[in-house]
Amino acid sequence: MVWFIWVLHIEPSKKSSYKDQRELGVLPEKIETFENEVERLQNLMADDEFYKQEIIKVQAQLEKSQKELAHRYVRWEALE
């Protein structure tokens, strides 16, 4: 499995905007949601019955969740 992390370059500002403060406030919840989704999909893929299901669909969903999780971590770091 290959992991890709896209890094956003955000210039630090002296004062966080209201929008950034609100985003920072909800990021932990969003990160937890994607962590849970990634874990759920990985457990699904580890199940012996998985290969009788729609493999490509689940793999694509896992990849999307991993990318979203990585993006949320990068954004959280940038906002702090």
Q: Would you tell me the crossing angle of helices 18-46 and 55-79 to the nearest 10 degrees?
A: 150
Question: Is residue 3 scored above 80 in pLDDT?
Answer: no
* Residue type for position 19: K
Closest C-alpha among 63, 77, 68 to residue 6: 68
- Do 63 and 4 meet the contact criterion of CB atoms below 8 Å apart? no
- Residue-wise pLDDT tens digits, 56-76: 888 899 999 999 999 999 999
Give me the count of residues in the chain. Answer: 80
Which tens digits make up the pLDDT trace of 13-46?
Answer: 567 799 999 999 999 999 999 999 999 989 988 8
65 versus 52: which is more confidently predicted? 65
Q: What is the pTM of this model?
A: 0.56
Domain boundaries, the chain: 37-80
Q: DSSP assignment of 44-56, as one string?
A: HHHSGGGGGS-HH
